[in-house]
Structure 1
Amino acid sequence: MVSCKKQVGNHPNILFVHGPIIVGAGPSGLSVSACLKNNGVTSLILERSDCLASLWQQRTYDRLKLHLPKHFCELPLFGFPKKFPKYPTKHQFISYVNSYAAHFSITPRFKQEVKRAEFDCKIGFWRVKTQDCEYISRWIVVATGENAEPMIPEIAGIERFEGDLVHTSGYCSGSDFGNKRVLVVGCGNSGMEVSLDLCRHNAIPHLVVRNTVHILPRDMFGFSTFGIAMSLLKWLPLRLVDKFLLLMAQFTLGNTDKLGIRRPKTGPIELKNATGKTPVLDVGALSQIKSDKIKVMEGVREITRSGAKFMDGQEKEFDCIIFATGYKSNVPSWLKGSDFFTEDGVPRTPFPNSWKGQNGLYAVGFTRRGLLGTASDSLNIARDITNQWRTIKDSKCMCSSHFTPQKIAMRKLE
């Protein structure tokens, strides 16, 4: 529970929170809360869904596993069970998140969708409004992340398609698509894995590869490719490590250009650092492409009633189109009065300084570096808030008597 959380005056829908308000109960929000609690600082998590890690529980496909070894994906202060495999499954990761919250006694307020959050300069606090309550706090931590809302591209004719249109957030298993011709739009890790899953359930997947993409083996010499890269970067220049990765990819996977999958001119790590575009870690899809069980298609020019027309002039019929086109942030829709985030809902300041804004505003889970970035942000945020907390702990500014009911009621969020 949040300490010293009080109703303000006679206004039952306004609550003062002595610690920070964290928006989002995914791994990022839980990590910050745990790090704060470890420092003796309480917090309140507001979550729009009815569960922890809703992206993992409600919007991921059944065969999903962590793309990186578990020791790179641990949340701060509490590791994975030793019995878990090197690459935990979706369900194992969810059980880990639930255990993490239980270990730190984190109890979010569920079904509290933040409609608006804004810093009130006159009282010097954040006002965070959900559908049925307004919360007041000195600090707010945006932990909704980069993957808050599914993103579907605008493609000519999409409204005419008579088959099923599915985003990967609504895809569970290829068992629903047996013997169907399926167009998968997007060739990142999700697109590759969904295509592989479809193939293994006797569907007929066609994978759209519109842009260049790096494909690397998930493991090399019995070790994770990511782990090898991280070790080499301690001793070698980035571009030399990229050259090594591409040489090994060529040796183990072959020339992907011949399969219709062109590599970017920029190396995989350099590209990731510059744009956030993650290389695909192959778990079997490439072999299915080589055997023509997954058919590679060029970019879609137009969607028709029964299928699609492609940039190379081909036209094919499909029963279903699956969009593996990722997600986007929703921060601009509810965080107001701050220029810390761009119009796309990501911090303007690049990593490693993207975690802190002004007036007690923080962000976690926006580094484009996965759970490793989340852990780094969480520790920084907890350290910074804790220092402020200890300084003002006994000050009258921490007390809800600093507010008058009239002062807050007259300035309620519209």
Structure 2
Amino acid sequence: MDCFAEAEGKRSHDPLYCNPHSPPATGFPVDNIPVPVVIVGAGPAGLGMAALLGEAGVPYKLLERCSCIGSLWRHRTYDRLCLHLPKQFCELPLMPFPKSFPTYPARDQFLEYLESYARRFNIEPQFRQAVVSAEFNGDFWWIRTKEVTSLPIGGEQDTYSGKTTLYRCKWLVVATGENAAAAGPAVPEIEGTGRFKGQLMHSCEYRSGAGYAGKQVLVVGCGNSGMEVSLDLANHNAITSMVVRGTLHVLPREMLGCSTFGISLWLLRWFPVQAVDRFLLMMARFIMGDTTNIGITRPSLGPMELKGVSGKTPVLDVGTIAKIKSGSINVFPGVRCFHEHGVEFIDGRTENFDVVILATGYKSNVPYWLKEKTFFSEKDGFPRKSKEWKGKNGLYAVGFSRSGLLAVYKDATKISEDIVQQWRDMCMEDARETLSNRRTPCPI
């Protein structure tokens, strides 16, 4: 066995043996699990990281609060959900989607892809491990988890067993992503919600419009989820209304028979963003008409420029605009307050509703458990700088750049390359130390 292989062998038994510090004097027990990398979150971002590290031979632990991979897709999405971008923009590193899959895979097909991905790269997450704290101390990250026994779908709190586990690692990858649900859905504070006697729910609890036929339903939120939930309700003959509170860019999912997103990426390689935006808005108006006439006002900045400045992604229409034009979906401005049987809007109108669905996204849970104040914002749980993926002391963020699955591929690739290089440098250093320790005096 050469010295490099011997050093690797030592690491396989204690991946951090080269720097065996005792746990810092901050209440950490001596009993802990040492591993080079800990990845938090077994969604697409965490799976992509695990595959790349595993293929490079870097040991890791993948921690997941739920009992399955891709839990957000499996338990908190509506039945009709499909990818909004073509599959080639949504694949994870090292493995494309099957050729048999359609251009826009459905939710169940995407879950099938994730399961196949985990099998191919032998990814075995530590399920039901909720991270309750992660702190850098004494050259290492110390990650404490609790075993989850109950996983509510709404905003209720998890319940835990008494079992806790402590992990010690050199590199910590936060892969809970843009839509982390562990902290619960993001519910806006609106006056009078307690007075409303109808059904009030978050979109994470919505599955299908079946059962809502003939009911007055209001969807609060006009992102991709709000638009699709409204479309689904209208298709199931619900009396559907939707709140569009501010300005909004809506683009057709396809232009000229091609993906709008794909066209945008190609054009941005050759033209300035303002020129690309003018083309996109011209085509959108040609295909969908003037959205101002249906209560949707566009921002002053174009869709691609706005995305670059604020991270706000344009909505890709899959049929909702046509339903609004036909009168099947009514558009209202922001909600001022709730009444017993309905809602008062900011323009003074009052309408009765049987059901109100809050399509208002999720809160990031990172500020609840990560004891770090410089890289991640305590306000929204995102990196403070847009598209930032590397912090200090071996801290990384994958899937937080507000660019969906395409950014997951890019972030995971950059992070894995960075970690692998550091890992190999450490192994080479250990190999040199092993050689030095083997030196013997020359024979007389």
TM-score by length of 2: 0.85
TM-fit CA distance, 1:308: 0.2
> 1:133 corresponds to which residue?
165
8 Å CA contact 2:51–2:123 kept in 1: the answer is yes
Task: Assess, with a 3 A threshold, how the Cα gap between structure 1 residues 320 and 5 changes in structure 2: closer, same or farther.
Answer: farther
Aligned pairs for 1:298-309 (under 5 A) are 298-309=333-344
In the alignment, the residues of structure 1 paired with residue 29 and residue 67 of structure 2 have an alpha-carbon distance, to the nearest angstrom, of 23
8 Å CA contact 1:3–1:18 kept in 2: the answer is no
TM-fit CA distance, 1:40: 1.6
Q: Compare 375-384 and 16-25 and name the one that shifted more.
A: 16-25
> 2:158 corresponds to which residue?
none
TM-fit CA distance, 1:4: 3.1
Larger radius of gyration: 2
In the alignment, the residues of structure 1 paired with residue 396 and residue 315 of structure 2 have an alpha-carbon distance, to the nearest angstrom, of 30
TM-fit CA distance, 1:166: 1.1
Pick from 304, 327, 337: which aligns with 1:269? 304
Pick from 267, 270, 273: which aligns with 1:235? 270
1:166 aligns with 2:201: yes
> Which SS does the other structure have where 2:211 is aligned?
helix
In the alignment, the residues of structure 2 paired with residue 92 and residue 50 of structure 1 have an alpha-carbon distance, to the nearest angstrom, of 19
In the alignment, the residues of structure 1 paired with residue 12 and residue 41 of structure 2 have an alpha-carbon distance, to the nearest angstrom, of 19
8 Å CA contact 1:6–1:17 kept in 2: the answer is yes
1:4 aligns with 2:13: yes
TM-fit CA distance, 1:293: 0.6
1:124 aligns with 2:139: yes
Pick from 328, 339, 342: which aligns with 2:377? 342
- Deviation digits for residues 103-159 of structure 1, max 9, x if unmatched? 100000000000000001xx3111000111001111110011121131111111111
1:371 aligns with 2:405: yes
> 1:411 corresponds to which residue?
none
Aligned pairs for 1:380-395 (under 5 A) are 380-393=414-427
Task: Assess, with a 3 A threshold, how the Cα gap between structure 1 residues 88 and 5 changes in structure 2: closer, same or farther.
Answer: farther
In the alignment, the residues of structure 2 paired with residue 104 and residue 78 of structure 1 have an alpha-carbon distance, to the nearest angstrom, of 10
8 Å CA contact 1:26–1:53 kept in 2: the answer is yes
- Deviation digits for residues 267-312 of structure 1, max 9, x if unmatched? 0011111111111111111111001110111111111111101112
- Deviation digits for residues 87-106 of structure 1, max 9, x if unmatched? 00000000001111111000
One-letter amino acid matched to 1:125: F
> 1:33 corresponds to which residue?
50
1:356 aligns with 2:373: no
Aligned pairs for 1:8-407 (under 5 A) are 14-120=31-137, 123-131=138-146, 132-149=164-181, 150-343=185-378, 344-351=380-387, 354-393=388-427
In the alignment, the residues of structure 2 paired with residue 124 and residue 94 of structure 1 have an alpha-carbon distance, to the nearest angstrom, of 37
- Deviation digits for residues 240-285 of structure 1, max 9, x if unmatched? 0000000000101000100011111110011111111111111111
8 Å CA contact 1:61–1:172 kept in 2: the answer is yes
Deviant stretches of 4+, over 4 Å = 5-9, 394-397
Task: Assess, with a 3 A threshold, how the Cα gap between structure 1 residues 5 and 56 changes in structure 2: closer, same or farther.
Answer: farther
8 Å CA contact 2:40–2:46 kept in 1: the answer is yes
In the alignment, the residues of structure 1 paired with residue 30 and residue 194 of structure 2 have an alpha-carbon distance, to the nearest angstrom, of 43
TM-fit CA distance, 1:376: 0.8
One-letter amino acid matched to 2:256: F
8 Å CA contact 1:128–1:134 kept in 2: the answer is yes
- Deviation digits for residues 183-215 of structure 1, max 9, x if unmatched? 100111111100000011111111011111111
In the alignment, the residues of structure 2 paired with residue 380 and residue 302 of structure 1 have an alpha-carbon distance, to the nearest angstrom, of 46
- Deviation digits for residues 12-62 of structure 1, max 9, x if unmatched? 993333320000000001111111112121211000000001110110000
- Deviation digits for residues 338-392 of structure 1, max 9, x if unmatched? 42111211111222xx111111111101000111111111011111111111111
> Which SS does the other structure have where 2:417 is aligned?
helix
TM-score by length of 1: 0.91
8 Å CA contact 1:113–1:130 kept in 2: the answer is yes
8 Å CA contact 1:66–1:89 kept in 2: the answer is yes
Identity among equivalent positions (%) equals 54
In the alignment, the residues of structure 2 paired with residue 146 and residue 391 of structure 1 have an alpha-carbon distance, to the nearest angstrom, of 32
8 Å CA contact 1:13–1:134 kept in 2: the answer is no
> Which SS does the other structure have where 1:115 is aligned?
strand
8 Å CA contact 2:15–2:36 kept in 1: the answer is no
8 Å CA contact 2:213–2:238 kept in 1: the answer is yes
TM-fit CA distance, 1:65: 0.4
- Structure 2 residue ranges without an equivalent (≥5): 1-10, 23-27, 147-163, 432-444
